Amino acid sequence: MVADFAKKRNKEFFSRELLFKSLGVALIIIVILLLLVDFKMYQRKQEMSSQINALQKQIEDIKKSSQTLKDEIANSNSTDYLEKIAYEQLNQQKPGEKEIIFVAPQEKSKTTAIPESLWNIKSWLGWFSNAWVWIKSKI
């Protein structure tokens, strides 16, 4: 009878141990899944904040261009503004003015030297001709 009690106790111990192990594994899996979801939410938040910043910058640029257009519309009847536009955009001149154009000198194109190798016949012929000219000048 004592032996039966010990067997039942061992079975209960193993079943409790198995239950605790399975609960532990399930808990670890749940924690890992929660961490993955949290990481994805963090990435999504970063993407959204960068999009918000880009859109805010676009809004500021549009407001600046809108203000510039409003100023140009307000100045459209001004003769000074019309002269400025004529000079800058239409290249018009007042009577008696001369247009001066400055031309920058063109850069000389650099000739690419072909690297000389031991097997290039032209480099050997050039060397021999230079040597022959040197010998002639010495004689």
**What gap in Å lies between CA 31 and CA 25, rounded to an integer?**
10
Look up residue 96 and give its two tokens: 């008696």
How do residues 21-80 score in pLDDT, each as one tens digit?
999 999 999 999 999 999 999 999 999 999 999 999 999 999 999 999 998 888 778 888
Best CA proximity match to 29, nearest among 17, 40, 37, 41 = 37
- Provide the Cα torsion 70, 71, 75, 76; round to 10°: -40
How do residues 80-137 score in pLDDT, each as one tens digit?
877 777 777 776 777 777 777 778 888 776 655 555 566 677 777 777 788 888 888 8
pTM, to two decimals: 0.43
